[in-house]
Amino acid sequence: MPKPTIDAAPAADRPNVMTGARKQISYIGGYIDPGFDRTIEACADLSLVRIDKSQPFDVLHNTLAASHAIQIDSARLDIPEHLRISRAFLAQCPQILVVSASGAGYDAIDVAACTEAGVVAVNQTGGNREAVGEHTLAMMLSLTKRIGETDKALRAGGVVDRIAYMGDDLYGKTVGIVGFGNTGTRVAELCRGLFAMTVLAYDPYVGENAMTARGARKVELDALLQAADFASLHCPLTDETTGMIGRREYALMKKGAFFVTAARGGIHDEMALYEALKSGHLAGAGVDVWEQEPPPADHPLLSLANVIASPHTAGVTHAARRRLALMAAEQLIDILRGGRPQRMLNPEVLPRFQERFAKALGHA
């Protein structure tokens, strides 16, 4: 099957950007979508280099050191440690001006190190909100309707007792959303609009008025866990969120509640989740992200019939990949031609970045 592509406007048709000397973009990781390459390669003032991530850093150094921009896969586990954006990496590549994550997640990028180096870090937040939102809802439906369990029972053969697999409805239940950005907001829209669910949200960086406008009630994390029939994670992996959901937090959840995550592995404690499910305290879990990806076949969570598992594929759809590719390419083009970054992770770096940009490329 041919790979989907993006019909991008020619670079000459994009307004309000500045052209100048040829700038190099190095891409570390796999393809988002071929449209990223085609969009960049249509620009005469830009060059694109694909980095072979299997090679050691010293072999790649000259190419990376010549780069003005780095495009990198979002998931840390997809990138070997020596090519993750760190202080050591940036120290050896002083010409880099911008680092761009391919999706909303940015755990392959040390944002603080970028700020220290005067490098602007950006992501593509919102580009896969529909894909991840729909996947989250699919896991919630599969869990409450027990679709995974009944599918396995039928495939095993024999008589299936329908009453033994009685599920429930989503309608009117309470969903608690941890992380209320683009994807969390979309999950709230789906749950509220389709199933009249009560939406609670926890996000210390989103104000009460903004949450109310998006149809959610702002609460603290403990209150959310205690009240939710479904707790769903949609926050980035940071120092602040690592290990945020553990044995204590699962114990706070209502008996018979469901846990769902399409955020990042490392935010939730996998073994504590297994224990909460095995004991019967939680009714089920939908897990798309893992501490080790893919998880080993003998992972305890994969032994449980009431776990819906997927290998970090929530955001991997044709439509999402096309959208992310165009967003990433257009943002890099604008930045490297003097435009203001649209989706900055470290806005405080902007004055120093602009100074470095003018010095490196001869214009502000």
Mean pLDDT of 16-25: 65
- Respond yes or no: is residue 293 known to be catalytic: yes
Contact 202, 220 (CB under 8 A): yes
- Least Cα distance to 181 among 121, 263, 268 occurs for 263
For residues 99 and 128, the answer to whether their CB atoms sit within 8 Å is no
Measured CA to CA, the distance from residue 289 to residue 78 in angstroms comes to 13
Domains of the chain by range and CATH?
11-125+318-361 (3.40.50.720), 129-309 (3.40.50.720)
DSSP H or E segment with residue 65: helix 57-65
Residue predicted with more confidence, 326 or 17 = 326
Sheet containing 69-72, strands listed edge to edge, beginning at the edge strand earlier in sequence:
46-51, 23-28, 69-72, 98-101, 120-122
> From the DSSP assignment, how many helices (H) and strands (E) are in the chain?
13, 12
Residue 18 predicted with pLDDT over 60: no
236 band by pLDDT with thresholds 50, 70 and 90: very high
pLDDT value at 8 more than 80: no
Q: What is the mean pLDDT of the chain?
A: 92
Q: Which residues pair with 39 in a beta bridge?
A: none
pLDDT of residue 96: 98
Q: Is 275 a catalytic residue?
A: no
Closest alpha carbon to 45 in 357, 332, 341, 352:
332
User: 53 pLDDT band (50/70/90 cuts)?
Assistant: very high
Catalytic residue among 84, 129, 186, 264: 264
pLDDT of 16 reads 35
Is 14 considered catalytic here? Answer: no
How high is the pLDDT of residue 77? 87
The average pLDDT across 256-272 equals 97
pLDDT at 14 over 70: no
d(CA 71, CA 336): 13
Cβ burial 4-35 (10 Å sphere, 16+ → b, else e):
eebebeebeebeebeeeeebbbbbbbeebbbb
Name the percent of the chain lying above pLDDT 70.
94
Residue 11 confidence (pLDDT) above 60: no
The pLDDT of 58-84, averaged and rounded, is 94
Counting every residue written for the chain, the total comes to 364
Radius of gyration of the chain (CA): 22
Chain center to CA of 238: 12
pLDDT at 313: 96
pLDDT category at 363 given cuts 50, 70, 90 is low
Residue 315 CA, chain-centre distance (Å), reads: 7
Choose among 341, 338, 352: nearest CA to 116. 352
pTM of the model: 0.89
Q: Tell whether omega for the bond before 204 is within 30 degrees of 0, i.e. cis.
A: no
Residue tagged active-site, from 312, 321, 337, 356: 312
pLDDT at 57 over 90: yes
Q: Is residue 153 predicted with pLDDT exceeding 80?
A: yes
Q: Phi and psi for 306 in degrees, rounded to 5? A: -95, 25
Res 268: pLDDT:
98
- Structure confidence at residue 309 as a pLDDT band (50, 70, 90): very high
Q: What is the pLDDT of residues 87-142, one digit of tens each?
A: 999 999 999 999 999 999 999 999 999 999 999 999 999 999 999 999 999 999 99
